[in-house]
Amino acid sequence: MQEDDHAATNGDQRTGRASRWGLRGAIALLLVAAAATIWFTNAWLTTRFSETTRVRTELRSALYTGNLLSELQRTSVVPLLLARDPSLILALSGNNFSGSSARLISAQKEIGAASIRLLDASGRLVGSTDRNLLGKNYVQEPFFVEPLRSKDTVFNVTTNPQGGYEFTYSRAVVSDGRTLGVVVVGTDLTPLVRSWAGISDAIAVTDSEGNIILSTEPRWRGLTLPEALAVRSAPSAISRAFQVTADWTSPAADAYLQGKAVMQAETRIPFRGWKMISFTTYDSVRERVNAVLALVIMGFAILLAAAFYLLSRRARVESAAYMRESADLRALNMRLTREIAERERVQKELRVAEQTVQQSSKLAALGEMSAGVSHELNQPLAAMKTYLAGARLLLQRGRGEEALSSFQRIDDLVERMGAITRQLKSYARKGGEAFEPVDLRAALSSALVMMEPQLRSRTIRLQRNAPRFPVMVYCDRIRLEQIIINLLRNAVDAIKGIRDPAIEITVSAGSHAFLSVRDNGPGVSDLENLFEPFFTTKTPGEGTGLGLAISSGIAADFGGRLTAHNASDEGGKGAVFELELPLLDPGRKTGPRMAAE
């Protein structure tokens, strides 16, 4: 019965998981559909509304162009009328200009021109609607020079003292075939520009050379269009962020105006090659598109809210099931708490054991030091015993001078034992204090003298090969001899029980100084652990396993190294130990000439 309930529970869980995954899949598809719909709607509406805005902008530009042409044409007929005015002709003929300015002011009120000026044949201003300019000479101005040449109404664009542009129509006053002066009529296009600024975002009018002569942006006047678009303040980080978020769905912008993306429309003005360029932002497009997108997003949000509601109901059902399992989790938590306490107790005991091991390690280090002293003093003591026996025999035979030589050797051995104890005490400090130039051949000879009793105790064929020139190294002589003695002693021990035992010692010099000791014993079985402390292949009581470890450390202090390999790798038998040390003079690389001794 319990198995049936368990199976039913598992079936319900599988059904619930499948239902949850199905609902989550539906939500994921809904999100993908929402993103695709919003993207497509935005792209389509943006293109459509942008085209509508562009058409509206072009119609507005055509209207502005008509107004501009109408104003210019209205002003263009005024110079012709005034050039035929009898009062102005009479004034220029008789040089009597007392009433000329009054006549021009009256004409300005009737016509609505911006300004009217009368210049005599010398270019001097003799009549003007602005009496402050009377007497000024304009003989080099285009609106004076060009009418005299063409005898017709001439249009000119000149720069005024305020930095703006002045638009004038001028015509020569001719009477009886004689040029009396020039009438200059200025037109004011500022009201038109003000009306444009109140409706459009930005409008500019360029002449035939591309220079902006009219603009709703005062800073643009006198610049080319690329220069004008570049004149803008550097946007801040916040402004750039708003620009990116505002332009992410807009079509490629024609230009940027005050940090905003704008569309650019260009209209040709049928007057002297002029062009009208209008800039319209995408704000109206974005507002209309965003209104539609808001409705679309709202619809998808309602669908998502319904899906999340279904998920929340299922979550409440699952929460009730999880609460029933909380009792088992609490019991498990209690068991884990007990196990943690037990682990902490074991860790405390482990720390106590570690302290005990550390103390044992200290005692082992003391034992290692005493074993090292015993190992290194064994050879000098054996030699001293031999020399004492020889000295006793010589004294018995009355050969005192030869006995004194043996006593001198014993004294040298005592000094050597003192040096060895000092070296063993300073072994942990990695370095000696008696470094000097040493001939490797001489150190080998001294070591052979120390090993003479062991070498003569058996029949051993000893071959020594050394160059005829000194092989100088920079090291501690006593410690170098210690390395050689350890290598010779190991070779002697390795050939015990070997028929026809032999040891070959070779000294050579190349890029470094080399000393190799080769025996014909069985070789070394474990080369990896050979230089580890307390590792030995000898029987208990015959060796401590410290000789090669100490020798390797001394070689490292000298800047060299001690290596070993089996002669079987070279087609022979036995083991080969090689000591490599830096030469005292590294520039000397003459190959050795070997001589058998």
Domains of the chain: 84-192 (3.30.450.20), 435-582 (3.30.565.10)
Tell me which residue has tokens 């704000």: 283
Structure tokens that stand for 190 in this block: 């500022």
Q: How many CB atoms sit inside 10 A of residue 188's CB?
A: 15
CA distance 118 to 139: 12
d(CA 524, CA 478): 27
> What pLDDT does residue 241 have?
43
- Tell me whether strands 461-467 and 502-509 are parallel, antiparallel or unpaired: parallel
Determine contact, residues 129/105, Cβ cutoff 8 Å. Answer: yes
Neighbours of 281 (CB within 10 A): 19
Q: What is the pTM of this model?
A: 0.41
Q: In the structure encoding, which two tokens stand for residue 520, read together?
A: 């014909």
DSSP 80: H
Q: Could you give the CA distance from residue 173 to residue 188 in angstroms, rounded to a whole number?
A: 23
Q: How far is CA 420 from CA 73, 472, 559, in A?
A: 122, 23, 20
Q: Side chain identity at 212, as an amino acid letter?
A: I
Report the pLDDT value the prediction gives residue 437, as an integer from 0 to 100.
92
Residue in the block written with tokens 């200009």: 97
pLDDT of the residue at 578: 92
| Spatial contact of 291 and 283, defined as CB atoms under 8 Å apart | no
3-state secondary structure 477-508: HHHHHHHHHHHHHHHHHHCCCCCCCEEEEEEE
Amino acid 2: pLDDT: 42
**CA-based torsion, 216, 222, 227, 232: positive or negative:** negative
The three-state DSSP-derived secondary structure of 291-356 is: HHHHHHHHHHHHHHHHHHHHHHHHHHHHHHHHHHHHHHHHHHHHHHHHHHHHHHHHHHHHHHHHHH
pLDDT tens for the chain, 597 residues: list them. 444 544 444 555 555 566 667 667 777 887 888 788 878 777 777 777 667 777 777 788 888 888 888 888 888 888 888 888 888 888 888 888 888 888 888 888 888 788 888 988 888 988 888 888 888 888 888 888 888 888 788 988 888 777 678 888 999 988 888 888 899 998 888 888 888 876 667 888 888 888 888 888 888 888 888 888 776 544 444 344 444 444 444 555 555 555 556 777 788 888 888 888 888 776 666 666 677 777 778 877 887 787 777 777 777 777 777 777 887 888 888 889 989 988 888 888 877 765 564 455 445 444 544 555 666 677 778 778 888 888 888 888 888 788 788 788 888 778 777 766 655 554 444 444 578 899 999 999 888 877 777 777 778 888 899 999 999 999 988 889 889 988 988 888 888 878 888 899 999 998 899 999 999 888 887 777 777 766 566 655 455 556 778 888 888 888 999 998 888 766 668 889 999 999 986 554 444 333 333
Contact in structure between 523 and 575 (CB atoms under 8 Å): yes
- Output DSSP code: residue 185: E
Report the amino acid identity of residue 166.
Answer: E
pLDDT at 580: 94
Three-class SS state of 319: helix
Strands (E) across 79-177 are located at 115-120, 125-128, 154-159, 165-175
Q: What is the pLDDT of residue 597?
A: 39
The predicted pLDDT at position 447 comes to 85
Q: What is the residue-wise DSSP string for 417-462?
A: HHHHHHHHHTGGG---S-EEEEEHHHHHHHHHHHTHHHHHTS--EE
> Distance between terminal CA atoms of the chain?
100
Closest CA to 153 of 125, 124, 187: 187
pLDDT of residue 417: 77
Res 589: pLDDT = 43
What is the DSSP track for 247-263?
Answer: HTTSPPPSEEETTEEEE
